[in-house]
Amino acid sequence: MNNLVIAYLGDAVYELYIREMLVNTTNFKPNKLHREAIKYVKAQAQAEILNNISDKLTDKEQEIVRRSRNTENHHLPKNANHKDYMYATAFEGLIGYLYD
């Protein structure tokens, strides 16, 4: 699978995980659920998570992260800097790889 396709899958899997976690651990209404979910799924948060777990990854997982991070992507969200977005894509690639 293409690295961006794996990251696309990882994005969906991670967002579903966060939404389920919030639904199961809070009594928030949908608008508040959305605002809380954004705190976890934004590029900066994903880049921080990847930074925190990078030394625990296997060689294969580190390779997936490297390939996903270096994938050419011409889209940059308005609320993310380029570095955070690259590492968020790498995190999503890792999640997609682990899910698949």
Specify the residue for token string 């991070």. 69
| Cα(44)–Cα(16) distance, integer angstroms | 18
Does residue 84 carry a catalytic annotation? no
CA dihedral 88, 90, 96, 97 (to 10 degrees): -160
> How wide is the angle at C-alpha 37 spanned by C-alphas 86 and 43, nearest 5°?
10
Structure tokens at 9: 């899958």
Mind telling me the catalytic residues?
A: 11
